[in-house]
Amino acid sequence: MTNNTASSFVDSHTCFDTQIAQHIAHIRLSCPDRLNAMVPEFWLELPALVRELDARGDVRVIVISSTGKHFSAGMDLSVFTNMAKQFTGEPARRAESMRRSIFGLQDAFNALETVRMPVLVAIQGGAIGGAVDMISAADCRYCTKDAFFTIKETQLGMTADVGTLQRLPHLIPAGLMRELAYTGRNWSAQEALQQGFVNAVYADSESMLAAVMNIAHAIASNSPMAVAGCKTMINYTRDHTVADSLDYMATWQAGMFQMPDVMEAMKAKQTKRMPEYENLKPRQAMMKGIE
């Protein structure tokens, strides 16, 4: 068994600061002076960072929070400006290029959904436009009482295209989701809580982050194999029938259900101590195994 603490690690990018401690990676949007708008670098840095954390093997939970008054103002104007430059040339090739550009933007948030560990998001102030796409791809959402959400794209003359319209129908009632998309109105923290979009509402950012970190520690104390299995199965079930999901579950267990973590959990409970689980294999080790 490995020690139940992970090595501390601090890293900075253009749009994010990251710290890893006790198996929890804390990513902070770090551009409050521009309302944490999603500039071109954001769309490249986020998926690379999240997948790098996944590849380590010792990270069991990702917490994403923000700095400043608002969580994020959404896609920065510079991204639209760059995309506008593509509206030239032969129509079919222009459309094919645009389609690939949108795939690239979608990939930034798909990464939150496909990594092995849960992603928890702590939201203060506004989560606008692309920020709703982002948090919809997370496993759990928490916010402050002053938080609000808006599918802003509709009011800007376009259809949201990076995941909101695909994920929100699985998270909130369909009628409400359509209303929010059609109107682009602000959606309050209390309404989001009532409809189950967020797990809890807190008085301020400090109390919210403290509570979210407590949840992250609780997750990190469990078997990372068990938690990864939960995320895989929950995501699969969302997109498949019950029968298909049960079949996949049985196949998963046939290979993934092993006794070491179960025995460690039982021994820890009997001796009234915290369990110590082996980390997941880092991606580098997996790649070396097939070289």
CB of 127 closer than 8 Å to CB of 149? yes
Same domain, 171 and 238: no
Please indicate, yes or no, if residue 3 is contained in any of the structural domains: no
Please indicate, yes or no, if residue 283 is contained in any of the structural domains: no
Same domain, 230 and 176: no
CB of 79 closer than 8 Å to CB of 37? no
pLDDT tens digits, 92-137: 999 998 899 999 999 999 999 999 999 999 999 999 999 999 999 9
Residue with tokens 């954390």: 53
Same domain, 145 and 210: yes
pLDDT tens digits, 35-92: 999 999 999 999 999 999 999 999 999 999 999 999 999 998 887 777 777 778 899 9
Same domain, 122 and 238: no
Q: What is the spatial distance between Cα 91 and Cα 197, in angstroms, rounded to a whole number?
A: 40
Same domain, 173 and 259: no
**How many domains, in total, are found in the chain?**
2
Please indicate, yes or no, if residue 213 is contained in any of the structural domains: yes
Same domain, 115 and 162: yes
pLDDT tens digits, 243-281: 999 999 999 999 999 999 999 999 999 999 999 999 999
pLDDT tens digits, 155-166: 999 999 999 999
How confident is the model at residue 6, as a pLDDT? 47
Same domain, 209 and 188: yes
Same domain, 207 and 119: yes
How confident is the model at residue 150, as a pLDDT? 97
How confident is the model at residue 4, as a pLDDT? 43
Element spanning 248, H or E = helix 242-256
Please indicate, yes or no, if residue 46 is contained in any of the structural domains: yes
Please indicate, yes or no, if residue 278 is contained in any of the structural domains: no
Looking up residue 243, the CATH number of its domain turns out to be: 1.10.12.10
Q: What is the spatial distance between Cα 280 and Cα 26, in angstroms, rounded to a whole number?
A: 19
Q: What is the spatial distance between Cα 98 and Cα 80, in angstroms, rounded to a whole number?
A: 12
Domain span including residue 128: 9-220
Same domain, 211 and 242: no
How confident is the model at residue 10, as a pLDDT? 61
Please indicate, yes or no, if residue 279 is contained in any of the structural domains: no
Instruction: Render 93-144 in DSSP notation, one character per residue.
Output: HHHHHHHHHHHHHHHHHHHHHHSSS-EEEEE-SEEETHHHHHHHTSSEEEEE
Same domain, 16 and 130: yes
Looking up residue 125, the CATH number of its domain turns out to be: 3.90.226.10
Please indicate, yes or no, if residue 285 is contained in any of the structural domains: no
Q: Which of 175, 194, 220 is the last residue of a domain?
A: 220
Same domain, 14 and 91: yes
pLDDT tens digits, 165-207: 999 999 999 999 999 999 999 999 999 999 999 999 999 999 9
Same domain, 242 and 192: no
Which segments within the chain are labelled E, that is strand? 9-12, 16-21, 24-29, 61-66, 119-123, 126-128, 140-144, 148-150, 187-188, 200-202
The CA–CA distances, whole Å, from 227 to 19, 86, 118, 135, 284 equal 21, 42, 8, 20, 21
Specify the pTM: 0.91
Close Cβ partners of 7 (under 8 Å, ≥ 6 residues apart): 20, 58
